Amino acid sequence: MLIRLGYDIQFQIPTSVAMVALLSVHPSRAQDLLEPDELRTEPELKVTNYIDSFGNRCSRFVAPSGHLRLWSSTLIQQTDDPDEVNLSAREMSVGDLPDGVLMYLLNSRYCEVDRLSGIACDLFGNMPQGWGRVQAVCDWVHNHIAFDYQQARPTKTALDVYGEKVGVCRDYQHLAIAFCRALNIPARYATGYLGDIGVPLRLPMDFSAWFEVYLDGRWWAFDARNNQPRLGRILMATGRDASDVAMTTSFGQADLYSFFVVSEVEEGTVQAEGSDQVSTSSRSTPTFNV
Preceding omega of 204 cis (within 30 degrees of 0): yes
Phi and psi at residue 40, to the nearest 5°: -110, 145
**Amino acid type, 243:** S
Mean pLDDT, residues 90-95 taken together: 97
Residue 250: Cβ within 10 Å count:
26
The distance in angstroms from the start CA to the end CA of the chain is 31
**DSSP-based three-state secondary structure for 205:** coil
C-alpha closest to that of 134 among 145, 153, 120: 120
Contacts of 37 (CB under 8 A, 6+ apart): 5, 24, 25, 30, 72, 74
Q: What structural domains and CATH numbers belong to the chain?
A: 2-78+246-282 (2.60.40.2250), 94-244 (3.10.620.30)
Do 226 and 219 touch, CB atoms closer than 8 A? no
Mean pLDDT of the chain: 91
pLDDT score of 34: 97
Q: Indicate the pLDDT class of residue 203, thresholds 50, 70 and 90.
A: low
Q: pLDDT (tens digit, 9 = 90+) per residue, 236-284?
A: 999 999 999 999 999 999 999 999 999 999 874 333 333 443 333 333 3
DSSP string covering 57-122: EEEEEEEPSEEEEEEEEEEEE--SS-S---TT-----GGGS-GGGGGGGS-BTTB-HHHHHHHHHH
Cis bond before residue 43 (omega within 30° of 0): yes
Q: What is the pTM of this model?
A: 0.90
CA angle (35, 40, 46) in 5-degree steps: 120
Contact (CB, 8 A) for 78 and 32 = yes
